[in-house]
DNA sequence: CTGAAAGCGCTTACAG
DNA sequence: CTGAAAGCGCTTACAG
């Protein structure tokens, strides 16, 4: 592979001059520029990003550590992150933690070893010594979706409180009184916040949230299945199951179907995080939609601000309730439901 | 950030010795090793991967360029690729081409600039000069899922021919005679092969495949919607729509629902690529499942073989038909359908 | 077993 | 406007 030396030789100039034209440095004569460019062309030269990074101490790369790529919410988040980063001249390397703290740390470490310019993370758990050290060491960092309380790091996230309140109102109106939730890990902010918001909303309606109606999930389908089975085995099963993410809703659906029960007649179901398939499930699922692409973009902008020396900004965007049929009261059939253009886009 | 010099100073040895213990070089005295390790510990030293890469001319990084991360099939593929790569000591950088050739080339170029050790690609189109040059330049390369005919690069993929044949048999048995397909881009191998296999199978049953029954999609939901609308507008609409991927099936479902039609009573639907949600759609969708995680693993192994000087192997694994209810003849209700453990795992 | 030194491919003050 | 030279943080023959 041709190096800058080869180009210099071909063009009959020094490597310094080649470097200058490559970096659009102003003080290069038009003539020199032309010959260098010609040499670059004939050799098919491409600068070695590794060498450049070593020299300039910047990689123009962002690290993104998410808790689960297979979760459509995170896939969509990752996609918008990459898009915005590309628009700002950065690449992104994704690390999938699979909801496993050790794997999360592995990726953070690898990313740091590669000297990424900044780190975007949706932490798998409530605290990680490595994360603390990283922030303390001055690595530009921004939390997306989930965050670690007490750390002085900007947070970009959706607030689901109002939407959850609206959901409970919806459920209450439909006559449901025994509401249960499949929670995410209590160690994650989204895991605990959604339960808290749910509990608060229930309180406003004078509804209890007994421990038996708080199932401990881990944001994965299998846990949704397991918790739902436990709910159904209760002497007095809930009338509604609210899954704190779309994967656990999938598991809940599996469990309900396995028992030969029907939604919403036998039990109602709602989910946090909306996905395109929810329109076509049997029945269509009522869900809370996050402004995911906006979150991804805002997170990148905050991180790049931080990297480039501007003050980064925390951002909180509202989530919203999308009512469909899974909680009862069949909505009058719409002649033509608004189409969605991508599998993860929310509908309605 | 501490450098190897700092460690050397702290340990009272030369950087060469530090480097040796870091790389497990045999000729280091136990005493030296111990002091160096201690120094590493107290300084919290982590080797700079950028510098190491520049020096050793290897990055221990694989590039993966896929056509669409939002497509669950590719998400799952990416995940298994990363897993296998990690097991073999490599990182992977994913580039999402979004089915756009220019974006694909952008990622390939960026990856090459970063001097990745090898490239895994599922090409967006039939030929790319850049891809040709890359292979010719000797960059280790392997195609996954899709490939570019005529290039001497190992291919790891699933063969859907038999499964498609089985699907047609299934449809024919159910009495369907007017079968249509929403094809992927003809420039992709998977796009054209699936049509070819479908046509061949129809021929065996003496069934025609008129041009009007071949809709040109692009593997995205919107195209599935558009093509399905065209099908439904035909004087004689098809009885079955076979979508060449799961996203176009989603679009087809959107279009069918928008017309107030029902599956399978008014029109049957089947899809290539299985996803967990297909069990819960109304009705559950008959699909062709690929052994996706196996493909990802095999692709990484082939690429790493190539990188490390062993002869790489092309691999073809069979896809299989998963019959559900979307083509008619409701399957007798199963008391307990086999659960799936991840959202993209195929069921049944 | 150990260290001094060269060199990977760049960028960038410094001098002219 | 241009070039010679230093240096980013490593690894690795070479000599001892």
Q: What is the pLDDT of residue B338?
A: 43
| A213 and A253 together in one domain | yes
**Cβ contact B104:B123 at 8 Å:** yes
| B187 and B282 together in one domain | yes
Exposure of B207 in the CB half-sphere (CA atoms within 13 A): 24
Question: Does position A210 have pLDDT exceeding 50, yes or no?
Answer: yes
Mean pLDDT for A252-266 is 94
| B267 and B168 together in one domain | yes
Question: Token digits for A4?
Answer: 């800058």
> Which of helix, strand or coil describes residue A62?
strand
More confident residue, B346 or A224: A224
Q: What is the pLDDT of residue A303?
A: 98
Q: Which residue is nearest to the C1' sugar atom of D13, using CA?
A: B16
Q: What is the pLDDT of residue B280?
A: 87
> Which of helix, strand or coil describes residue A317?
strand
Residue A42 located in a structural domain:
yes
Q: Chain B partners of A283 at a C-beta cutoff of 8 Å?
A: 282
CB contact under 8 A, B282 and A277: no
Residue B129 located in a structural domain:
yes
B266 Cβ contact list (under 8 Å, min separation 6)? B256
Please report where in the chains the tokens 């991967």 appear, as a residue: B49
Residues 38-97 in B having a C-beta less than 7 A from any atom of strand D are 45, 47-48, 51-52, 54-56
Helix-strand-coil percent breakdown of chain B, rounded to 5?
A: 45, 15, 40
Interface check B109 vs A, CB under 8 A = yes
How does pLDDT run across A285-308, given as a tens digit for each residue? Answer: 999 999 999 999 999 999 999 999
Residue A347 located in a structural domain:
no
Helix-strand-coil percent breakdown of chain A, rounded to 5?
A: 45, 15, 40
Q: What is the pLDDT of residue B330?
A: 55
| A8 and A116 together in one domain | no
Mean pLDDT for B177-183 is 97
Q: pLDDT band for A329, please (50, 70, 90 cuts).
A: confident
Nucleotide nearest to B16 (CA to C1'): C3
Q: What is the pLDDT of residue A144?
A: 97
Residue of A nearest to B281 (CA): A281
Lowest mean pLDDT: which of A51-65, A228-242, B109-123, B274-288? B274-288
Q: pLDDT band for B97, please (50, 70, 90 cuts).
A: very high
Full DSSP string of B231-265: HHHSSS--SEEEESSHHHHHHHHHHHHHTT--TTT
Residue of A nearest to B335 (CA): A258
Give yes or no for CB of A13 within 7 Å of strand D.
yes
Q: What is the pLDDT of residue B292?
A: 97
Q: What is the pLDDT of residue B22?
A: 96
Mean pLDDT for B276-298 is 95
Q: pLDDT band for A207, please (50, 70, 90 cuts).
A: very high
Question: Does position A338 have pLDDT exceeding 70, yes or no?
Answer: no
**Cβ contact A319:A160 at 8 Å:** yes
Q: Chain B partners of A50 at a C-beta cutoff of 8 Å?
A: 50, 53-54, 59, 114-115
| A109 and A32 together in one domain | no
Mean pLDDT for B23-43 is 95
Residue B346 located in a structural domain:
no
Q: What is the pLDDT of residue B282?
A: 86
| B195 and B144 together in one domain | no
Lowest mean pLDDT: which of A112-116, A339-343, B69-73? A339-343
| B179 and B166 together in one domain | yes
B119 Cβ contact list (under 8 Å, min separation 6)? B62, B63, B64, B65, B108, B111, B112, B134, B139, B140, B141, B142, B303
Q: Gap from A23 CA to D4 C1', in Å?
A: 20
C-alpha A111/C-alpha A119 separation (Å) is 8
Phi, psi of A317 (to 5 degrees): -115, 145
> Which of helix, strand or coil describes residue A176?
coil
C-alpha B64/C-alpha B94 separation (Å) is 5
> Which of helix, strand or coil describes residue B201?
helix
Cα dihedral value B8, B10, B13, B14, nearest 10: 20
Structural domain boundaries enclosing B32: 4-47
How does pLDDT run across A20-35, given as a tens digit for each residue? Answer: 999 999 989 999 999 9
**Cβ contact A142:A122 at 8 Å:** no
| B137 and B203 together in one domain | no
Residue B338 located in a structural domain:
no
Q: Which residue is nearest to the C1' sugar atom of C5, using CA?
A: B16
**Cβ contact A151:A132 at 8 Å:** yes
Lowest mean pLDDT: which of A230-239, B63-72, B328-337? B328-337
Interface check B76 vs A, CB under 8 A = yes
Q: Which of residues 205-234 of A touch B (CB under 8 A)?
A: 220-222, 225
Q: How far is A155 from chain B (nearest CA, A)?
A: 24
Q: Gap from A1 CA to C3 C1', in Å?
A: 32
CB contact under 8 A, B257 and A250: no
Interface check B91 vs A, CB under 8 A = yes
CB contact under 8 A, B254 and A339: yes
CB contact under 8 A, A282 and B283: yes
Q: Chain B partners of A53 at a C-beta cutoff of 8 Å?
A: 50
**Cβ contact B234:B209 at 8 Å:** no
| A65 and A80 together in one domain | yes
How are beta strands B141-144 and A179-183 bridged, if at all? unpaired
| B91 and B39 together in one domain | no
C-alpha A66/C-alpha A79 separation (Å) is 12
CATH number of the CATH domain containing B276? 3.40.50.2300
Q: pLDDT band for A330, please (50, 70, 90 cuts).
A: low
Residue B343 located in a structural domain:
no
Tell me the average pLDDT of chain B.
93
For chain A, how many residues are written? 348
C-alpha A103/C-alpha A85 separation (Å) is 24
CB contact under 8 A, A222 and B339: yes
Residue A186 located in a structural domain:
yes
CB contact under 8 A, A339 and B49: no
Residue of B nearest to A275 (CA): B277
Question: Does position A88 have pLDDT exceeding 80, yes or no?
Answer: yes
Interface check B136 vs A, CB under 8 A = no
Number of domains chain A contains: 3
Q: What is the pLDDT of residue A1?
A: 86
Give yes or no for CB of A27 within 7 Å of strand D.
yes
C-alpha B95/C-alpha A93 separation (Å) is 9
| A117 and A175 together in one domain | no
Q: How far is A193 from chain B (nearest CA, A)?
A: 24
Among A343, A344, A346, most B C-beta atoms within 10 A, so best to mutate, is: A343
| A285 and A306 together in one domain | no
Q: pLDDT band for A337, please (50, 70, 90 cuts).
A: very low
Residue A337 located in a structural domain:
no
C-alpha B241/C-alpha B327 separation (Å) is 9
How does pLDDT run across A218-235, given as a tens digit for each residue? Answer: 999 999 999 999 999 999
Q: Which of residues 242-301 of B touch A (CB under 8 A)?
A: 247, 250, 253-254, 257-258, 260, 276-277, 279-283
CATH number of the CATH domain containing A11? 1.10.260.40
Q: Which of residues 26-65 of B touch A (CB under 8 A)?
A: 44, 46-51, 53-54, 59
């Amino acid at each position: 592979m041709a190096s800058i030396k080869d180009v210099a030789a071909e063009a009959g100039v020094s490597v310094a001059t080649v470097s200058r034209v490559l970096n659009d440095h102003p003080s290069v004569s038009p003539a020199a520029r032309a010959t260098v460019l010609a040499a670059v062309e004939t050799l098919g030269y491409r600068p070695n990003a590794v060498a450049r990074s070593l020299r300039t101490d910047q990689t123009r790369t962002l690290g993104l550590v998410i808790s689960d790529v297979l979760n459509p919410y995170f896939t969509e988040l990752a996609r918008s992150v990459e898009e915005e980063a590309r628009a700002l001249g950065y690449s992104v390397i994704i690390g999938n933690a699979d909801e496993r703290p050790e794997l999360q740390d592995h990726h953070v470490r690898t990313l740091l070893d590669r000297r990424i310019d900044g780190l975007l993370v949706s932490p798998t758990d409530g605290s990680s010594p490595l994360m603390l050290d990283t922030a303390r060491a001055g690595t530009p960092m921004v939390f997306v979706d989930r965050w670690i309380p007490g750390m002085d790091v900007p947070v970009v996230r959706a607030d689901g409180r109002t939407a959850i309140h609206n959901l409970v109102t919806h459920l209450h109106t439909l006559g449901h009184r025994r509401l249960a939730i499949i929670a995410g890990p209590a160690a994650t902010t989204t895991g605990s916040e959604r339960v808290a918001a749910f509990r608060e909303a229930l309180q406003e309606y004078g509804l209890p949230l007994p421990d038996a109606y708080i199932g401990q999930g881990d944001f994965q389908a299998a846990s949704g299945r397991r918790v739902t089975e436990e709910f159904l085995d209760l002497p007095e099963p809930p009338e509604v199951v609210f899954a704190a993410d779309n994967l656990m809703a999938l598991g809940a659906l599996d469990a309900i179907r396995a028992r030969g029960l029907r939604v919403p007649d036998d039990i109602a179901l709602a989910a946090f995080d909306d996905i395109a398939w929810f329109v076509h499930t049997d029945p269509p699922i009522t869900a809370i939609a996050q402004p995911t692409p906006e979150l991804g973009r805002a997170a990148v902008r905050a991180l790049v601000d931080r990297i480039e020396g501007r003050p980064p900004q925390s951002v909180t965007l509202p989530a919203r309730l999308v009512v469909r049929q899974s909680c009862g009261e069949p909505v009058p059939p719409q002649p033509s439901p608004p189409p969605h253009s991508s599998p993860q886009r929310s509908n309605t």
